[in-house]
Amino acid sequence: MEQGAKEKRDLPLGLRDCRAGPKPHVWLMPYCIPSHANAFYHLGRLLASQGVTVTLLAAASEIERLLELESRLPVSSRRDGLDFHLKPVSDTEVTFGDGIVDLEIRIKYYMRTEADFSAVLKASVEHGSPPTCILADFWLTKTLETASQCGIPAFIYSLFSASLLSAVIYVQRLESAGILKLPGYESAESWEELISLPGLSMTRIADLPEPYLADHHMRDMTMDHGTYLQKAEVIVFSNCRAMEGGPFREFQRILKASPHRKSTKMPEIFHVGPTFLEHYSLGPGSKEKEIGDQERHPILKFLDTHSTDSVIFVAFGLVSTLKQEQILEIAYGLQNSEQPFVCVLNPPSRLPGSDFIDLFSVIPPDCIAQTKGRGLFVKFAPQLQVLAHPSVGGFLSHCGQNSIMESLYMGVPILAWPIFMDQPINSRWLVSEAQAGLEISRERAQVVDRKEVERGVRALFQGDEGRSARKKALEMKQVIREAVGENGSSVRDLEALVALIKGEFETCSNSENEACKSIEHDSDEECKEAGSKCPL
């Protein structure tokens, strides 16, 4: 075949009968957590902009929240004019951010989500109107299996990093072989033991997701996720390939050696992120203008009064809750740091049945008075716009995958304070591998005192380590923006994903064209080339 010529590539089994027909229709099925639904919404916009009909399904309460979110987005980042629909599948009342910490409630949401999605998939087949394919959350194993049983191609959309997914498979395999036995909650002394994970430096057992602990209620379900992942034919990541050169190569190797794969053929893997804004056609300009022109939020006006790279932004995501004692320590730590700040906090954690605790009943009035003009304590902030503001020079974050991408896209270094699930592994990658952040010293389930909060903020803004992290964050900014720039890797992967959905998937025999390369590299050198622009 001629150099650079294109050839048809075998489609995954489920899509081999979808080469022709009406406009393809993709269903998006997120896990019932706000950050996951948000990410699926932005993916839906990108797919719809490529000529695909998209329907995002979720509980009615989550659809209402997404509509409220949409009303605050720039016009260019909404669904206007696109064949993209939001569809409620149940009247389940999904509530987050009210401070209640109850694992049983989380499991109930999870089980109800799986049941709702499975029912609507079966109904679509019975009525002769199934989607072309589904993109479902990594957590929704039963949904993915139901779709496959119904003859509907099922793709995984992972909001987790390759580092985390590699750890999921690796630990599961070690335990199955009897080489490793993870401790339970009663064996806290074992949490500090170190384990070597693929593509990462030595990691504490405490940094693994909680469901892997021997006595966790969701352990069996978590193991099912790892098993299904190894069988998947298509995996779509919400980040960009260059963010995870080493960990992604390890992920490929682990999948290739998996005993759960029916053949040696690797799954199709796409990185289409970051997807959180209309970035694919951005031109030069200040980072703030890039996220849309809309009425300025009062927090942005506050930021206008501070100098470049002087403000620490503090936010722990839409779900994470902190104890009252921890909120106090954060407040006083920020006060003592003497650094300007914007601090977003959810209501304090509480047990089911207990009274709601307002955030401002916990933050001491004297702290608010002492930081007036220098700091803001708020319940909500437009995170992307805040990170895009020139005065923001650091982000104290829980290290959710979305938050890391948003911060690095803006070139803002991170002070990592992971809380649960994938966040500790994300933090390990950020601090040890990308070196674009520092970490708050903490012990699992312990309150971090105000001195450590103050130390971390000062180190990020005034210390040599902080200056080095800032430099690395700016390098990562360049890498990520190249991925979503003209002919960038994420742009090409998005186009390839849409072609796969339409049944027009092609690969290119030109070995110099990375966009069309198979992920099945024949050598380490080819693997390295895929991440050659990564500064790690």
Express each pLDDT in 483-531 by its tens digit: 999 899 999 999 999 999 998 654 432 223 333 333 334 334 433 443 3
50: CB partners within 8 A, 6+ apart: 494, 495, 498
Q: Which of 19-33, 96-110, 369-383, 394-408 has the lowest mean pLDDT?
A: 96-110
Tokens of 14: 């489920």
Whole-number Å distance between alpha carbons of 495 and 493: 5
Which comes out higher in pLDDT, residue 55 or 203? 55
Domains of the chain: 25-277 (3.40.50.2000), 295-481 (3.40.50.2000)
Across 129-133, 187-191, 349-353, the highest mean pLDDT is recorded for 129-133
Q: Is 489 exposed, middle or buried (0-12, 13-18, 19+ CB in 10 A)?
A: buried
**C-beta atoms surrounding 298 within 10 Å:** 10
pTM for the whole thing?
Answer: 0.85
Mean of all residue pLDDT scores within the chain: 82
**Whole-number pLDDT of residue 318:** 81
Strand order in the sheet with 437-439: 375-378, 341-344, 311-315, 392-397, 414-416, 437-439
Quickly state the pLDDT bin for 216 (edges 50, 70, 90).
confident
For 323-382, write each residue's pLDDT tens digit.
899 999 999 999 999 999 999 998 887 555 556 678 888 899 999 999 999 999 999 999
Written as one letter, the residue type at 27 is W
Which comes out higher in pLDDT, residue 279 or 375? 375
Half-sphere exposure for 394 (CA within 13 Å, toward CB): 29
Whole-number Å distance between alpha carbons of 455 and 97: 28
Rounded to a whole number, what is the distance in angstroms from the first to the last CA of the chain?
A: 36
Across 158-172, 335-349, 452-466, 517-531, the highest mean pLDDT is recorded for 452-466
Assess whether pLDDT exceeds 90 at residue 1.
Answer: no
